Amino acid sequence: MLTHLVPAAQLFFTIQNLLIVSLGLFIGITIGAIPGLNVPMTVALLLPITFYMQPIAGISLLLGVYKGGTYGGSISAILINTPGAPAAAATCMDGYPLARQGKAGKALRASIYGSVIGEFISDIVLITIAAQIAAIALKFGPTEKFSLVFFALCTIGVVSSEDKIKGLSAALFGIFIRTIGSDPITGSSRFTFGIFNLIGGIPFLPHLIGLFAVSEFFIQIERKVSSSKKDIVAPVSKNREDNIVTWKEFKANIKTIIRSTLIGIGIGALPGSGSAISAFVSYGAAKNSSKEPEKFGKGSLEGVFAAETGNNAVTGGALIPLLTLGIPGDAITAIMLGVFLVHGLVPGPDLFVKSANIIYAIFIGLIVANILHFFIASIGLRLFTKLLSISRAILFPIVIMICVAGSYTVNSNIFDVYVMIFFGVLGYIMKKFNFPVAPLMMGYILGSLLETSLVQTMILSNGSVLPIFTRPISLLFVILTVFFVIWSLFIQRKSRANKI
């Protein structure tokens, strides 16, 4: 590890990279703070631009947006009781009551501290264990890879939606979409309908811009909420004590911060879960073990710390499966996979061998981003608060402009824009019928690996799929998949029975 640190530091520490990380954080916090705009959408929109950057710069930009956006949602959650991002929904429960008590500044500071500490510790865990996991994963053959991808797809299918069948169906449909184009083994064409542009498959970028950005545009235009102006609570109180988190208050919440960080890392590392789930689990755990559970929901600082630490701790955790196994931990890291692939970097264990300097430069970038995050969030608090009142009638037409420009510029091909519109409409319909879009994208991204590893397994075993159940690591993933699906179906049935 140490041998790579010096060249990695030389790669990362340039004025350009530092500015790009700061820009990413600024964009992320801004987007996160404005309800309606979300992080996956922004990462998808920025992806075409990163294609024209150096790999470290492009990845740093998106990591900045990821970290900033996950935190930014708390600003609107605290000040207008509307989470800017789903991850901040749990922050509303105590952040807004605190703001109504004139302690918005305190809640906002707690949110910054919790977020930065959560992501800092999760990055350290990532840096510490990534190489070890990658070393184990290097020994994986096609059978283990197939079982791992199968496990990841089933997990994201059942975790990303309340309705497990819909989540799994979306993942299956994503795999089908990936089969469009040339077959990876024989090269014969599949489902191209005689369209020349489909021979290379469905293009990655227009597909995800459509699913995440254009579909959201249709959702917003349907709601026609032209302005997010609500009663914005003043972020600063006259009483100094209400604007800061005192050492005593911080000390009292250290246990909550550590617990929420561990929950965030664990949930982040699980494919498909993401920061919203982590925030609620952390919040629940903090309430259960709190000395003052009755204060939760009425303005508990502990509640804000728990939710915000929990959601930001996911950012490092979600990078563990992406960097070490090539399996994205959530929708955002799945989109970020694109920036690696376009620069010829295939995330996974091989990356630690072939491009170790780049990996360690990313690790340095993560730590630097945390430090910059603290300063940008603290200094720009008033500015980000003002952004809450920007009209969506201005924001969303700009979003659609960037969608069109971004999809077109990848190949300078208008066909890509049509693909974007198709997936935009598909994503919109899926959202309206409560089918999650994240599993579809994961199915699309992992479909190729699933197919090639399955075919390789069968070639090695004369057409038999038995090795999937006889090789120990593969069998472990199969057992985990079955257990996870049955357990989540049981939980769903139980929660439905409770609602009825």
C-beta of 56 vs 233, nearer to other proteins: 56
C-beta of 9 vs 394, nearer to other proteins: 394
C-beta of 237 vs 448, nearer to other proteins: 448
C-beta of 186 vs 288, nearer to other proteins: 186
CB 62 within 8 A of CB 43: yes
CB 16 within 8 A of CB 57: yes
C-beta of 130 vs 458, nearer to other proteins: 458
Q: How many CA atoms lie within 13 A of 389 on its CB side?
A: 8
Look up residue 23 and give its two tokens.
């820009």
**CB of residue 495 to other proteins, shortest distance in Å:** 9
**CB of residue 275 to other proteins, shortest distance in Å:** 22
**CB of residue 51 to other proteins, shortest distance in Å:** 9
**CB of residue 406 to other proteins, shortest distance in Å:** 8
Query: b/e string for 291-320 if b means 16 or more Cβ within 10 A?
Result: eeeebbeebbbbbbbbbbbbbbbbbbbbbb
**CB of residue 147 to other proteins, shortest distance in Å:** 16
C-beta of 374 vs 408, nearer to other proteins: 408
Nearest residue to 378 (alpha-carbon basis) of 91, 96, 111, 64: 111
C-beta of 83 vs 317, nearer to other proteins: 83
**CB of residue 165 to other proteins, shortest distance in Å:** 5
Q: Is the dihedral of CA 389, 391, 396, 397 positive or negative?
A: negative
Report the DSSP beta bridge partners of residue 189.
Answer: 182
Using CB under 8 A, list all residues that contact other proteins: 48-49, 52, 163, 165-166, 168-169, 172-173, 175-176, 179, 183, 185-186, 188-193, 214, 217-218, 220-224, 226, 391-394, 396-398, 400-402, 404-405, 408-409, 412, 414, 417-418, 421, 424-425, 428, 432-434, 447, 450-451, 454-455, 458-459, 463, 465, 496-497, 499-500
C-beta of 13 vs 191, nearer to other proteins: 191
**CB of residue 166 to other proteins, shortest distance in Å:** 8
**CB of residue 249 to other proteins, shortest distance in Å:** 38
SS (H, E, C) the chain: CHHHHHHHHHHHCCHHHHHHHHHHHHHHHHHHHCCCCCHHHHHHHHHHHHCCCCHHHHHHHHHHHHHHHHHHHHHHHHHHCCCCCHHHHHHHHHHHHHHHCCCHHHHHHHHHHHHHHHHHHHHHHHHHHHHHHHHHHCCCCHHHHHHHHHHHHHHHHHHCCCCHHHHHHHHHHHHHHHHCEECCCCCCEECCCCCHHHCCCCCHHHHHHHHHHHHHHHHHHHHCCCECCCCCCCCCCCCHHHHCCCHHHHHHCHHHHHHHHHHHHHHHHCCCCCHHHHHHHHHHHHHHCCCCHHHCCCCCHHHHHHHHHHHHCHHHHHHHHHHHHCCCCCHHHHHHHHHHHHCCCCCCHHHHHHCHHHHHHHHHHHHHHHHHHHHHHHHCHHHHHHHHHCEHHHHHHHHHHHHHHHHHHHHCCHHHHHHHHHHHHHHHHHHHCCCCCHHHHHHHHHHHHHHHHHHHHHHHCCCCCCHHHHCHHHHHHHHHHHHHHHHHHHHHHHHHHHHC
**CB of residue 93 to other proteins, shortest distance in Å:** 21
C-beta of 223 vs 354, nearer to other proteins: 223
**CB of residue 493 to other proteins, shortest distance in Å:** 9
C-beta of 336 vs 449, nearer to other proteins: 449
**CB of residue 398 to other proteins, shortest distance in Å:** 5
C-beta of 202 vs 245, nearer to other proteins: 202
**CB of residue 257 to other proteins, shortest distance in Å:** 34
C-beta of 246 vs 434, nearer to other proteins: 434
